[in-house]
Structures are given as structure tokens and as C-alpha cells.
Amino acid sequence: MRKSTAKATKATMNARTKAPKVKLDLSDVERRVGEEVGGGELIEPCSATDIRRWVMAMDYPNPIHWDGEFAQASKFGGIVAPQSFAVAIDYGHGAQPACVGHIPGSHLIFGGEEWWHYGPRLRPGDRLTQRRHFHDYQVNDTKFAGPTLFQRGDTLHLNQDGTPVAKERSTTVRYLAKEAERRGVLAAAGEIPSWTREQRIAVENERTAWIHSNREGRTPRFAEVSIGDRLPRRAIGPHTLASFATEYRAFVFNVWGSFRWVAPEGVKDPWINQDPGWVEGFGFDEEGAKLDPRLRDGLYVGPSRGHVDTDKASEIGMPRAYGYGATMGAWVTDYVAYWAGHDGFVRYSNTLFRSPAYEGDVTYLDAEVISRVDESSWGAPLVRLDVKMTNQDGTKLATGQVEVELPR
């Protein structure tokens, strides 16, 4: 082959393999920064069954949340919801104000959650309302999708008395689905792992040991806790299509007819139920859903299809079915709250999600005490923990810090 021909062939190959330029259309995003937005609001108060369904889906067998007799004999005098439950009785997994603006051909995964808990416990009969704001955004270039939007939104949860219960700042990661599918970076997670009988027994033994670690709800006193103390390891999994579907169905807004759309007063163009620009095959049919509610169900039809359908997962760059960001945030809160016992209280958490929990994987949670605050802004002593979430290969799924109030 002549040199000129070789150069021409190489140039042609480079042209074919060179990544096309892609750009996010943020024209409907930029103008909404700082605005109060609308969304969905649950119609009925929460029930004991809603709470029980949630802890079942989170694989969190703390008896104060499901065992009526145990809860009745506890300081709570009856079933009480876990602190993670606020997101279960919100609309859209808490991401509504962090998914504002139409971006054609996009999809969304969760990037992280920040929570502030103000004190009130949720019980059967409580009903939350929300105030939502689109906080801010930035665009970064990522290996998995090129230009990627990191969007943050705030949700303040108020109970029926108007008392603030909790505030969430959700981070979403919005990207062009076709570009992520083309790059295939996320697909590197590989095939569903197989587990031997002995390995499954070992995982179940770890899970059971964690349940026994504080089933009675004993709270360590502040003076008992030292920097460097480690929490018992928690194991969840192996994850399956059934467990992912169970998690999704525990978010109450997924029940047909359970919510209504609400808009903030005085906002000329509130973001309520507009189309975020989902790639074809992942959107809702709002009009058709008036007759057939499956058409905006989310799991059968809608943006959550990839969680339980590997073919659909591949269309948005995922290798196989995968878990939910809001679930990962709940796992962190529940994990620390279980250690803190009945007299402890999670005040703040900030968790960064790095990778989903995939079908067939086991998720492990570990935590270490990294500091002690004798007198905090909450008016009580706090312990700060560093929390890590990994899978069976040691892949880091999430990292975060949690602050827990403990009695003296």
C-alpha cells in the first residue's frame, strides 16, 4: 500500500471512530433557576401499611416500624415511620425539583441526596405537603455521556400542622441517552454474577447478624462513642428484578390515583408535570392515563422501565437492571438510625452516589465515627460518621457523612 493511500485510510477510520459533537439543550433549564416549582402531592394521609410496605422494600426489619406489639411497648407507643420515609410519601422519589426543564432525548439517574431532619417523627395518619425549589445546576463533561447536567433541587416537607419535618436537596444527573448508549461506559459492569449456595448463606448470615446487632433499639450515650468506632456491617441482596419492583411499589405515588398535581401560588410558569424530554419509549401518556393509569405508571410505562427491564436499561447506557438512588439514600439513613437506637436521631446526611446497585449484586454498608461535637447547632451533642457503600467486588457505590444526635 502506498503511503498516501495508507494515510487516507487512517483518516477515514479516524473520522468514523471520532465521537460526534453532542450538546445539551438547556434553553428551558436556565430560565427556571431559583424558581419555586410544582409537582405531585399525595391525597390521603399515610397509613401503617404504607410504613410497613416501605421498610419491607428497604429490607429494614426494625420492629418499631412494622411490629405492632413491639412498637406499642416501646417509647413510641405504636408504629412509627423510619426517618427515610419522607421520600416515600413524596412525588417522584424526591427528584421533582431537580428535574426541571425540557431536555430533548435525555434520561436521568440520581447523583446524591442531602437531608436535614428537624425533629418530628412521622406516624400513621400524618400527611405531608411539599414546597419545592429548583436550586442550581452545572454542566460537566463525563466519560459515560459527554456533556452532563448536574441539577439540584430542594424539597421542604411539612406535616398537617405546617411543622417542618425534613428538607431534601436532591442531585440528578441528566444526560443524552443515545450518547451514553453509544459510549457504553456504564455497560462495563458486565454480566449478572452467580452465587454459590455457600456464598448466599454467608450473605444471609451477615444480614442476620446486623439485625441482631441492635434489634432492641439501645442508644449509645455520647460519652460511650469514640472516634474510630465502627458500625456493624450491613448486607443487602443479592438484588433481583423482584426486589427492584418491590422498592418501586413502596413509593406511594406509584399507586393509581394516589396523588394530584399542585402548583405554587403566584408562579407564572411552574414546572408541574411537563415532559422533561425523556428518550422515546420512556415517557408518560398523561391523556391516555385518564382511562388506563398504567400509561403513566412509571415502571410498566415511563422513565423507570430500565430498573426492571435489561433491554430498556441498555437503551439508556446501563448494562442490566439497576436499583434506585432514593433507595440508596434510604439505606444510609436506616443503617445509621438502627445503630443510633430509639433515643438517637439522624440530623443530617450528605450522600454522593457513584454507581447503581445492579441486578445480582450484593450491597454492603460500613461506617466509622470520624468526629464528635459536644454542643451542636441543634442544641445537643452529635456524632459524625463516614459511611461507605460497596458491592461484592469492592466497587464503591456511594460515600457520605451522617450526623447523629445522641443523648449525654
Q: For 202-237, write each residue's pLDDT tens digit.
A: 999 999 999 999 999 999 999 999 999 999 999 999
Look up residue 65 and give its DSSP letter: G
Our measurement of the distance from residue 262's CA atom to the centroid of its chain's CA atoms, rounded to an integer in Å, reads 23
Q: Grid coordinates 440528578 are at which residue?
A: 172
Q: At what angle do helices 197-213 and 325-340 cross, to 10 degrees?
A: 50
94: Cα within 13 Å, side-chain hemisphere: 31
Angstrom distance (rounded) from CA 118 to CA 166: 6
Angstrom distance (rounded) from CA 404 to CA 387: 12
Could you tell me which of 347, 400, 355 has the C-alpha nearest to residue 377? Answer: 347
Longest pairwise C-alpha distance within the chain: 88
The answer to whether the CB of 127 falls within 8 A of the CB of 252 is: no
Model confidence pTM above 0.85 = yes
Angstrom distance (rounded) from CA 212 to CA 223: 23
| Domain spans, the chain | 27-405
CATH number for the domain running over 27-405: 3.10.129.10
| CA distances from residue 245 to 40, 106, 241 in whole angstroms, order as listed | 21, 23, 6
- Provide the residue count of the chain: 408
250: Cα within 13 Å, side-chain hemisphere: 27
Query: What does the pLDDT look like over 326-350, one tens digit per residue?
Result: 999 999 999 999 999 999 999 999 9
Question: How confident is the model at residue 34, as a pLDDT?
Answer: 95
pLDDT band at 87 (very low <50, low <70, confident <90, very high): very high
Angstrom distance (rounded) from CA 53 to CA 66: 9
Query: What does the pLDDT look like over 37-69, one tens digit per residue?
Result: 999 999 999 999 999 999 999 999 999 999 999
Question: How confident is the model at residue 20, as a pLDDT?
Answer: 63
Strands 382-391 and 345-353: unpaired
Angstrom distance (rounded) from CA 152 to CA 356: 19
- CA triplet 90, 93, 97: central angle to 5 degrees? 80
Q: What does the block give as the cell for 16? A: 468514523
Give me the sign of the Cα torsion angle 46, 49, 53, 56: positive
